[in-house]
């Protein structure tokens, strides 16, 4: 009985969307058979949540080949290519990166994208 509760608790934690500063999340829209998704998961994925960017916007993975988007991400439209990385905050899209061409270009694009979190925070204050 205790084991069943433990597993139920772990499943709840895994299913709960990760959120960083002010409710931000970095959503990876992927397909299980996408070679570029797997490459990103090997090269960048292990270090994302440990990075400063990952602390501000934790990774959330969604396999778009297995069904519709989760209800809290239903507002995302126009995803054709994988991987697509979408920065979301407070139920809206801040920006996205389409595709993966290697670590260096990805980290540069991700830094520019996560920097937009500051802009949206400043706009909300005004």
Which of 68, 67, 105 has the alpha carbon at shortest distance from 85?
105
Q: Residues 8-21, buried b or exposed e (16+ Cβ, 10 A)?
A: eeeeeeeeeebebe
**What's the confidence (pLDDT) of residue 15?**
41
Please give the backbone phi and psi of residue 74, each rounded to the nearest 5 degrees, phi first. Answer: -60, -20
Please determine, for residue 61, whether its predicted confidence score (pLDDT) is greater than 60. yes
Residue 1 in this model has a pLDDT that exceeds 70: no
| pLDDT band at residue 14 using 50, 70 and 90 as cut-offs | very low
pLDDT digits (tens, 9 = 90+) for 77-118: 888 899 999 999 999 999 999 999 999 999 999 999 999 997
pLDDT of res. 80:
87
Average pLDDT score over residue span 30-55: 96
Q: Per-residue pLDDT for 6 more than 70?
A: no
CB 84 within 8 A of CB 31: no
pLDDT of residue 118: 79
Domains of the chain with bracketed CATH: 17-125 (3.40.30.10)
């Amino acid at each position: 009985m205790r084991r069943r509760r433990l597993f139920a608790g772990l499943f709840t934690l895994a299913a709960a969307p990760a959120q960083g500063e002010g409710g931000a999340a970095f959503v990876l829209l992927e397909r299980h058979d996408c070679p570029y998704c797997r490459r990103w998961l090997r090269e960048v994925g292990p270090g994302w949540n440990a990075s400063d960017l990952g602390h501000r916007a934790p990774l959330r993975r969604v396999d778009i080949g297995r069904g519709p988007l989760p209800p809290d991400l239903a507002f995302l439209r126009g995803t054709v290519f994988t991987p697509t990385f979408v920065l979301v905050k407070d139920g809206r899209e801040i920006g996205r990166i389409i595709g993966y061409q290697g670590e260096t270009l990805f980290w540069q694009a991700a830094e520019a994208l996560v920097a937009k979190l500051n802009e949206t925070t400043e706009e909300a204050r005004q």
